[in-house]
Amino acid sequence: MPGINQKKRAYYEEYSLFLGKICLKMGLKPNYITIFSFFCAIVSGLFFWRGEMIWGVVWMIITSFTDMLDGSTARAGNLGTVFGGIFDHVADRYGEFFILAGITLSGAAHPGWGLFALFGMLIASYTRAAAESIGKMENCAVGIMGRTEKFLLIIGGSIVEHWLPTGTWPKGGWLEFALIIVGATSVFTAFQRLLYAKKVLGKKKEV
């Protein structure tokens, strides 16, 4: 599992590098792109809250794309900093909150499932952050599903719900089902990361 994720990340970083070079030629800095991505997430959440799913999806896709650009730009220009990495992670968590809060408040899905998905994504991210900061692990980005895949599930659920509403669930249909999967796989991912950290760190004493 860790090997697969590492290969996927290496492939992603290699083939997104040319986009980072384009951003550098345009004079864009990684932290500025992170800020723009964060505001795109807010806009996406607002559209979801207003019940305009397609526009929520459009801005969610822009959020994901620009979130990829900040990292590729940092790598292309050797501009990566420790603060930049922290800033990017914090902005991502805020962005996830606004998007899922917008979906939850819109009534498109039962609020409980919206909160479940939000909790799952946050706890999965926190588990990784704790392993890498407290445990000093180089990388704990393992698990059944990453942030991109979860976003794709929400985007897919939103699109299908918009065009083929089912109304079979308490509050929503396909989107609600997507949130359930996102929440469940996120919680499972957190558990996988804990097990991986235990395997790597063993009985290493806390400094």
pTM, entire model: 0.85
CB-facing half-sphere around the CA of 131: CA atoms within 13 A = 25
Could you identify the residue written with the tokens 């395997």?
199
Which position has the higher pLDDT, 6 or 87? 87
Q: How far apart are CA 71 and CA 15, in angstroms?
A: 12
Distances (CA, A) of 22 to 54, 60, 125, 149, 178: 28, 22, 29, 25, 34
Q: What is the DSSP letter of 205?
A: P
Give 55-105 pLDDT, tens digit per residue.
999 999 999 999 989 888 888 888 888 898 889 999 999 999 999 999 999
Say yes or no to pLDDT of 11 above 60. Answer: no
Query: Residue 119: helix, strand or coil by DSSP?
Result: helix
The mean pLDDT of 172-182, rounded to a whole number, is: 88
Average model confidence (pLDDT) across the chain? 86
For position 134, what pLDDT does the model report?
86
Domain 2-200 indexed as CATH 1.20.120.1760? yes
Say yes or no to pLDDT of 169 above 90. Answer: no
